[in-house]
Structure 1
Amino acid sequence: MATSPSSSGQEARERVARRLRDLRADAGLTGTELAVRCGWTHPKTSRIENGRTPPTPDDIRRWCQACDAEGQAPDIIAESRDAESAYVEWRRKVRAGLKRLQDSYLQLYRSTELFRIYSPTLVPGLLQTEGYARAVLSATADFLELPDDAEAAAAARVQRSQIIHEPGRRFVMVIEESVLYHRLGDTDAMAAQLGYLLTAGALPLVSLGIIPHSSPRGLWPQELFHVYDDQLVSVELMAARVRITQPSEVVLYLKAFEQLRAMAVYGADARALVLRAIEALH
């Protein structure tokens, strides 16, 4: 079961506090000495170290400078921001409807040049046909007990996906072969979706890799995640979406993506897997 957003956020704040406390200890400074170097009172140092007061980016920069560890400031600032806003409940996010959720991604998509997407379970949203998207979103609404606006949401998702035809961006996607066999919607909808993968995989801006069942695994299947440029990772869980911006964690996901991408097949080999899945529908 996913950790609740409130406890997850508190745990993240406490991790930031521990990192700062360890920096001070490693520098051989007392709380009072650090406070003097930072230009604030000792009680503020104590509140930050005990996780009672979240530090501002300026607080973190001063802290790291006082400990001769300026190089760690960007990573700790990103971790602190994640602690406050990374864990987003799906129920709260989709309360206004699944169509509104689709529209909320537009600004992020417009500002991203390189999309990296790994999916072990579903066709990535950017490659979904309207029928397939409708089945996915309708099932989501039913599971989360939300008003079912899957028809409008699916149309919005397909409209948003037109970005894959616009120059200036690249889309690198990797899916597991099992994605091709998870039946979502009726046979016609699934056939249309698989047929579209044959077309989309040939688009000049899209690289679509499929990891075969038989591929030797250097890394086991992971959770569904998107990497937007090298700045943001969005991980989709059952109860929430986690946004990761801490540089060291983004690097970890980039490493995982490259390992998964290396296991995939492309071009004619990928098309053969899709055609086999289409044949299995009948």
Structure 2
Amino acid sequence: MSTDFQQARAALGLRLRELREAHPEGRLTGSQLAERLGWSHSKISKLETGKQTATAADLQQWAEATGRPGAAAELQARLAGLESHTRSWRRQLAAGHRSVQDAITAEHARTTVLRIWENCLVAGMVQTAEYARHVFDRHATLMRSPRDTEDAVRARVQRQEGLYDGSKRYHIIMWEAALHALVCPPSVLAAQLDRLAGVIGLDTVELGIVPFNTPLKIHPGNSFWLYDERLVVAEDWHAELWIDDPAGIATYIRVWDTLRESAVYDADAHRIITRARRALGAP
């Protein structure tokens, strides 16, 4: 979780405490507010100290319980600003994966040059439908989110039409581990590797592989996407980070450039993909 996010959440907590202590009928203690809301006292404490993120419903109830229902809009605006950069999977996936795919498709449409780093999965822009289906299913199980797999797969595959748009460029680097990760049956992975081999010939795509046996100038950390030089989207287990400040973007560009120095391309990349396919024992 970013320092900026922590600071914003702590500031929201201080505002919640102000509302509790400024109740029109007299200061409420944390225990009194917890009783009014039917919450645990620990929840009140965690929200006020910035150790837990409130939901929009939490903020509405807080404003009403502290006698300031009109403050709900202000609190929810603070929450929206806080989550514009740190988008928790719990909230994003409340309605399933399709809405997440639609949000990122809008960014793809605005982008001319997309740089992708993937450390453990085949990049979504070049996934087969069957491979994507297994990825979405496993993620939905982990996150306990609604399973709208087919809608999500269709959205992801439709986005790949950009690969054939001559006005766009895709620079994709993957760690070799992504070619071996059995997040799907071996037959599905074999077909996915065939798809990767075919992508190497596209004019709009530069596909690089960082081999297992190459010296690394930096460890292969979390996956991220660079949309032109205006936005970075990075994934973590709890959330997506949407980074648009110049210093943050500059850091990811340096990471990208460093990883790229260890990647191989064209025939060398094709040989690594072929080697991974043979390791599956596929014909």
TM-score w.r.t. structure 1 length?
0.71
Mapped to 2, the partners of 1:4 and 1:142 lie a distance apart of: 30
From the superposition, tell whether residues 12 and 229 of structure 1 become closer, same or farther in structure 2 (CA, over 3 Å): farther
Distance 1:235 1:195, change over 3 A: same
Report what 1:197 is aligned to.
Answer: 196
Aligned mates of 2:3, 2:246 — CA distance in 1: 24
- For 1:95, the equivalent position in structure 2 comes to 94
Q: Which residue of 1 aligns with 2:210?
A: 211
TM-superposed CA distance for 1:167, in Å, is 1.5
Q: Please show how residues 1-282 of structure 1 align to structure 2 within 5 Å.
A: 7=6, 9-10=8-9, 85-282=84-281
The question of whether the paired residues in 2 share the 8 Å contact of 1:8 and 1:87 is answered with no
Equivalent position SS for 1:274: helix
Question: Partner letter of residue 157 of structure 1?
Answer: R
230 and 193 in structure 1: CA distance in 2 versus 1, 3 angstrom threshold: same
Aligned residues, how many? 215
Cα-Cα RMSD: 2.3
| Secondary structure in 2 matching 1:235 | strand
Q: Secondary structure of 1:220's match?
A: coil
| Counterpart residue identity of residue 149, structure 1 | D
Q: Distance in 2 between matches of 1:12 and 1:250?
A: 25
Provide, for residues 12-46 of structure 1, a one-character-per-residue CA deviation record: whole Å limited to 9, x for no partner.
99xxxxxxxxxxxxxxxxxxxxxxxxxxxxxxxxx
How far off is 1:82 after superposition?
7.5
Q: Matched residue of 1:94: which SS? A: helix
Using the TM superposition, name which of 180-189 and 269-278 deviates more: 180-189
The answer on whether the counterparts of 2:233 and 2:241 sit within 8 Å (CA) in structure 1 is yes
Gaps of 5+ in 2: 13-79
Deviations 1:188-207 (A, max 9, x none): 21111010000112210000
SS in structure 2 opposite 1:173? strand
Cα gap change, 1:276/1:90 in structure 2, threshold over 3 Å: closer, same or farther?
A: same
- Once the two structures are superposed, residues 86-136 of structure 1 have per-residue CA deviations (whole angstroms, 9 ceiling, x without a partner) of 111111112121122212222211110010110101111101000100000
Structure 1 letter corresponding to 2:186: T
Q: Could you tell me which residue of structure 2 aligns to residue 19 of structure 1?
A: none
Deviation track 1:235-266 (CA, whole Å, cap 9, x = no partner) reads 10001000111101111110110110111000
**Secondary structure in structure 2 of the residue aligned to 1:93:** helix
Q: Identity across aligned pairs (percent)?
A: 33
Contact 2:95-2:145 at 8 Å conserved across structures: no
In the alignment, the residues of structure 2 paired with residue 252 and residue 5 of structure 1 have an alpha-carbon distance, to the nearest angstrom, of 16
CA distance 1:128–1:83, shift in 2 (3 Å): same
Q: Go from structure 1 to structure 2 and tell me whether the alpha carbon gap of 1:8 and 1:118 turns closer, same or farther (over 3 Å shift).
A: farther
Q: Note the C-alpha offset of 1:11.
A: 6.0
Q: Secondary structure at the match of 1:104?
A: helix
- CA drift of 1:173 comes to 0.7
- Counterparts of 2:131 and 2:146, CA distance in 1: 19
Contact 1:99–1:149 (8 Å) recurs in 2? yes
TM-score norm. by structure 2 comes to 0.71
Q: State the SS of the aligned residue for 2:208.
A: strand
CA contact (8 A) 2:126 2:160 kept: yes
CA distance in 2, matches of 1:209, 1:131: 23
Amino acid at match of 2:171: V
Structure 1 unaligned spans of 5+: 14-80
Which structure would you say has the larger RCO, counting Cα contacts within 8 Å and 6 or more residues apart?
A: 1
